[in-house]
Structures are given as structure tokens and as C-alpha cells.
Amino acid sequence: MTRLDALKAVYPTLEDKIVVTIMGAVSAELQSIGHRSNFFYLQHAMGLASSMGLGIALSRPEHTVVVFDGDGSILMNLGSLTTMARYRPANMVHVVFDNESLLSVGGFPTATATGSDIAALAAAAGVPRSCTVRSIDDFTRALDTALKARELTTIVAKVEAVGPAGYVTDLSMLENRFELQKWLRQH
Amino acid sequence: MIRLAVSPVSASSSRVIYDALKGCGIGLMSALPETWLVHLIRMADEDPEMILVRLAKEEEGVGISAGAHLAGVKSAMLMQNHGFLASINGIVSCAQLYRIPLLMLISYRGEFGERDPWQTEGGGVTEDLLRALRIPFVFLESQDHVSRRIHKAQTLAHSANKPVALLLCRDLMWEES
């Protein structure tokens, strides 16, 4: 499964969700499918996308937040799994695209390449639901199940270590930031 | 259990700080426990109007405050100055890069009067790091200026869309001479 195909498969589901992604490939690929005002791309601050999603989810329980994290990013902030688990917002789904590498800086293997299991880490941290998926069908089913369950879920989607040619898009970071704030004021 | 009864941490100063934060409309606080913050964290925990987020590491609080801000909730971060040191990448590459206001209440350990040797290195670099990061800061040293300074800090954070810091000093937070 490629991350781009996985994103395309669930894109219609994201229409009314607040989406927070990590930097690099995930951000560029989601924008290539189609940017929306309720999508935010955290272009730096590796590790903090899940924290940011948690901040939005706790502040606005009437909205559903989907975080698109990565293996390298969550490994930089494993404590976030314990904080998410502690407050376990029912309106948050935490997706980790695990390509077992730091793709954007040359593909160096992360610890998931040598056996670290992020779904097991999430479960051990106390996240009520977690799973690992390896196909598009399993991924779309896992996301639908998590959204229907209304219980904090970490979905680890094992994806190929391939990405777009470049990561800079036409959307400026500040435009994206103020656009999401405005969307959240209006909804 | 925390031994609040014998702690020389000032409960009355903590109350003045907490009331000032509430007066600024703070609805979410992130915190990592440290001795000087015990009363403030307890007050937040006992306040049904406050969302208290207990962290594993302070840098998470930057992301949580950024999310809260975009979602329309005013937040404050409670941390020790070593927690500020641990948060610097998040402050620079999330809050400053994305113009997010942060109201950081930082217990200023390691300044004059510090008895714990392990606090002294962090105390020695705190102000220089705040200056290097161009984060406006002010000292909270006595109860009579706490409310005014917290309100002004909050006003600047939101007009400038950037982090500001309030340094909680020993004379305010510690009642042992």
C-alpha cells in the first residue's frame, strides 16, 4: 500500500473532519488530492502533530479530529501516546503512516524497521483501541470502525517508503494556519 | 500523595496567579508537575471549568496550546524552567513559525536562594535563552503585580501572535526564608 493510495481511499471520509498532518510527504500528498480549509499541515515541529490534534479535540469535542502522523514523528514524542491515552478523547483518531524510515531525509531506517511496534506501544500506553493494517481495504475499514466507535484509536498503516518528488506546495504555512482558525470559528 | 500541608510553596500566591489566569479567560492549562506548581495544578484539577492536560514532557504543551488556540480556547502552560529548555524546538518550529500565542508560566528555579544544586545550571541560562529566542518576559515577584502583569502578558501574546513568558520567582512562590 502506498500512502497516497491510502489517503485517496479515505479522502471522502475526511470532508467534515479536522485533519492535522505531519510535514513532508503526507502534507504534499494530501494537498495533491485536494486541500480543504479544515486541513492543517504542521510543516515542522516533528512529533507535535498528535499533541496539536489532542489540543483541538479537547477544546472542541463537537468536532472529529483525524491526525496523520508518521513513524519517525511519533517516535520523537512517544510520551504523546500516554497523554492521548490519559484523556482519550472520543473525537480523535490517530493514524500513523509507518514506512519504517525517515523518507524525506534519505530513507534512513527508523526503529520500526528493527521491530518496534507502534500499535503495541499505543496499546501499552493505554490507547483504548489500536491496530496495524497493511492493505487499502483494511485501512479504510479500520478508519470507519474507529470513527463509528467514538473511542480514541491509533491505526498504524504500514506503507511503502515512497513519496512525492518535492514537499513545498503553493499553500503558505501562515495562510493554512489562519484559514483553519477561521474555519473553526465558523463551524 | 503530595505533602501539601508541609510545603512552603505559597498557596496564597498560587491563588492570586490562578485567579488572574481565570480572569484572562484561560480555559485550558497544560502542566508538568514541579514543586512550585503543586497548588496551581491542584486548583486547575479541582476547577470544573478548566481543561487540565498533564503532560509527559513539556514540549507536548506547545502543540496542545497551538491546537487549543486555533480551536478558540485560550490556554496557559505551567512548567519549570528546565521544561522550557526541553520545549525550545516546539516553541520555535511550531509556535513562532506559525505565529501562535503562548502564555508560558515558568517557575524560575536556580536563581538567588536556590538550595538544590541540580537546579542551578538551568537557572543560569533561562533569561539568556528567552532573550535569544526574542520571547518577551517579565518577573512575577510579589502578589501586588501578579494580576496586572499576567493580563498584560496575555494581551501582548494575542496582539503579537507569539509566545510570552512569566517567570515565577522565589519571593512569590516560596514562603521559607
CATH number of the domain within which A176 lies: 3.40.50.970
For the segment B32-48, the average pLDDT, to the nearest whole number, is 96
- Contact assignment for A174 to B75 by CB distance below 8 Å: no
Quote the pLDDT of residue A106: 83
Average pLDDT over residues B85-114: 97
DSSP B174: B
A72: containing domain: 3-186
CA-nearest residue of chain A to B65? A55
Q: Does B25 lie at the interface with A, CB-CB under 8 angstroms? A: no
By the CB < 8 Å criterion, does B72 face chain A?
A: yes
> Which H, E and C letters describe A69-100, residue by residue?
EEHHHHHCCCHHHHHHHHHCCCCEEEEEEECC
- Residue-level pLDDT at B132: 98
Mean pLDDT by 10 residues, chain A (187 residues): 98 98 96 98 96 98 98 97 98 98 88 97 98 98 98 98 92 98 98
pLDDT interval class at B43 (50, 70, 90): very high
Q: Any chain A CB within 8 A of the CB of B26?
A: no
DSSP letters for A95-121? EEEE-SEEGGGT-EE-GGGGT--HHHH
Question: Contact at 8 Å (CB) between A152 and A94?
Answer: yes
**C-alpha distance from B81 to closest chain A C-alpha (Å):** 19
Give this prediction's pTM.
0.96
Q: Do B57 and A48 touch (CB under 8 A)?
A: no
Q: Model ipTM? A: 0.96
Size of interface A-B (CB pairs under 8 A): 110
pLDDT of amino acid A31? 97
- Flag whether pLDDT at B2 surpasses 60: no
Record: contact A77-B60, CB cut-off 8 A = yes
User: What CATH number matches the domain at B11-173, 3.20.20.70, 2.40.50.110, 3.40.50.970, 3.60.15.10?
Assistant: 3.40.50.970
Domain ranges of chain B: 11-173
Contacts of A60 in chain B (CB under 8 A): 71-73
Please check the confidence at residue B1 and state whether its pLDDT lies above 80.
no
Considering only CB atoms, which chain A residues are within 8 Å of B66? 48, 52, 55
In chain A, how many domains are there?
A: 1
Determine the distance from the C-alpha atom of residue B63 to the mean position of all C-alpha atoms in its chain, rounded to a whole number: 15
- Mean pLDDT of the residues in chain B: 95
Closest approach of chain A CAs to the CA of B95, in angstroms? 9
Q: Which residue has the higher pLDDT, A165 or B157?
A: B157
The whole-angstrom separation of Cα B36 and Cα B170 is 9
